[in-house]
Amino acid sequence: MKTNGKIYRISGPVVIISGLNTSMFDVVKVGNEGLMGEVIGIEGDKSTVQVYEETSGIRPGEPVENTGMPLSVELGPGLLESIYDGIQRPLPVLKTKMGDFIKRGVFADGLSREKQWDFVPTAKKGDKVKGGDIIGTVQETQNIEHRIMVPPDMSGTIEEIKKGKFKVDEVVCTLSGGKKLTMMQKWPVRKPRPVGKKLTPNKPLITGQRILDGLFPVAKGGTAAIPGPFGSGKTVTQQQLAKWSDTEIVVYIGCGERGNEMADVLNEFPELEDPKTGRPLMERTVLIANTSNMPVAAREASVYTGITIAEYYRDMGYDVSLMADSTSRWAEAMREISSRLEEMPGEEGYPAYLAARLSEFYERSGRVQSLCGKEGSITVIGAVSPPGGDFSEPITQNTLRIVKVFWALDAKLAQRRHFPAINWLNSYSLYTKALGDWYKENVSPEWQKLRDDAMELLQKESELQEIVQLVGSDALPEDQQLTLEIARMIREYFLQQNAYHEVDTFCPMDKQFKLLKSITKWGNMAQSALEGGVQIEDIMKSKTKDDLAKVKFEKDFDTALGVILKSMDEEFKSLGGK
């Protein structure tokens, strides 16, 4: 039942209303313009509402209407290729309604009510169905089949099911008891969608980025954080993950980023080619854009909108990767609303429930068996933008307690033009052990030892660098000079990767293994030669060492590497030694 009240007090996006029967998280329309808001507190006959739009110009006494519904998203065919704001209003539709500048109080459906979709039933009359069961399919884009599911809270026997072209709000199936199903369902964004059971994340998300797959892997259904200061390459890393990771669906949330940076993403994504299919990457992507100059309350909602859409595709049996760029801006929106509500501030003014909200969000990731029995996953990768690159601030620290993979971006590496600028000494992955069996079976039984040896060399290099800065590398013993050289090769030949090079932008696992093994082989042969009495100067002149630097850019990698390995054997044989 819709009821009416009026505005009592206004404080930025927080509005107190009176005389209205509300429940927590009801969506209300505020003021003469009908601005969209959400009830976040109730005291007596007064309700506190966070408004998702700019509130300047509204006054106490203006009417407020309750819709009686929580903030929900529309789920159905047409989500892919869409660009939404934080509360699932399609930005291209808003542009046609009002031009380049978003006006207030404008509502737009999340899914088009005009477009017809070709519905093909997979269930038949007389079938018993329950929540999550698939009753039919729609070819949403050329390579993604949209599976139409029974809403989780519905079940019954199919009395009628149609085939043909329908709009999302037209009835395609009728269940016993007169329950009607359309191709669209609504779901409250703050409520996680139910699953059959959670599964152990034991398969890696292959990203084609050597430092991620090689040293700090993330599992499908896992959680990862990319904290880093301005200019260290967060957005490029997230775009590489969106483009190359082996998931079927990508949900990209631009949460509170600068307008020009978000504009770059909105311009670039539609032009990116999906390397798997040769089609536009947008055909399997949903973009949610909420820039820093948009109202803060909608920024807070955008993260929930994105994760709900991701859960919907997971329930169909798809692997989904969700990029949240950045969770710091989301937390800042929470801080602003919390201070206007006059709540007790926690560390650095953030609300005391910051850690709980972050963990609620990351916990909606996971590899699951959905209600229909299919296996799906959501891998959540959150960028964090700590002020001044300070990893001790509350958002980074609270995120670290929750996520299992930490890719620490380093401004100093970015200044040295080492990209991806992920610091191998500060980063870690807690999935390495769980993924060990997969790497043994699908890459090589040697993989784990190679990785551990590489990490050990990089650690030794870090310790030796302190001595080098005092006395210079020439003063070190020869074996330590060689250690520095092998570590440099791992850094520059293996960890450095060019996101804009047609060959090097993506590196499959077998290529990563062969490249790391070749560097290790050169290192072992060089150490044997040194122990056999060969001069360090002669070893450093090695031609195959320089050839290894270029081989990752070769289109015919295996042939080129084979030639180098043969030359390497001959080269070290000619050096002599015992």
Q: How confident is the model at residue 577 (pLDDT cuts 50, 70, 90)?
A: low
Asked if the structure places residue 420 within a domain, the reply is yes
Question: What gap in Å lies between CA 395 and CA 380, rounded to an integer?
Answer: 16
What's the pLDDT band for 2 if we cut at 50, 70, 90?
very low
* CATH number of domain containing 27: 2.40.30.20
Q: Looking at the structure, tell me whether residues 463 and 398 fall in a common domain.
A: no
Q: 132: domain range?
A: 115-183
Q: Does some domain include residue 439?
A: no
CA distance 190 to 34: 22
Do 147 and 210 have their domain in common?
Answer: no
Q: Are residues 468 and 371 part of one domain?
A: no
Write down the pLDDT at residue 3: 65
Shared domain check, 531 and 479: yes
Is 76 a domain residue? no
Q: The CATH number of the domain where 514 resides is what? A: 1.10.1140.10
Where do the DSSP E strands lie in 221-305? 223-227, 249-255, 285-290
Query: CATH number, domain at 411?
Result: 3.40.50.300
* Same domain as 325, residue 266: yes
Are 123 and 236 within one domain? no
Residue 432 included in any domain: no
Domain count, the chain: 4
Rounded to whole angstroms, how far apart are CA atoms 89 and 313? 19
- My answer on whether 119 and 58 are in the same domain is no
Q: Greater confidence, 101 or 446?
A: 446
User: Are 266 and 141 part of one and the same domain?
Assistant: no
Q: Does 149 share its domain with 226?
A: no
pLDDT at 152 over 90: yes
Q: Report if residue 85 sits inside a domain.
A: no
546 and 418 fall within a common domain: no
- Do 206 and 170 lie in one domain? The reply is no
Whether 108 is covered by a domain: the verdict is no
Quick one: which H or E segment has residue 411? helix 411-415
User: Amino acid identity of 553?
Assistant: F
| Pair (137, 228) in one structural domain | no
pLDDT tens column, 67-122: 999 999 999 999 999 999 888 989 888 888 877 777 787 888 999 999 999 999 99
- The answer to whether the CB of 205 falls within 8 A of the CB of 219 is yes
pTM of the model: 0.93
Judging by DSSP bridges, how do beta strands 223-227 and 375-384 pair with one another? parallel
Is the pLDDT assigned to residue 171 strictly greater than 90? yes
203 belongs to a structural domain: yes
Average pLDDT of every residue of the chain: 91
Q: Do the domain assignments include residue 506?
A: yes
Which of 427, 455, 484 delimits the end of a domain? 427
Last residue in a domain, options 397, 427, 457: 427
CB count within 10 Å of CB 560 equals: 16
The Cα 279–Cα 282 span in angstroms is 9
Q: What is the CATH number of the domain that holds 169?
A: 2.40.50.100
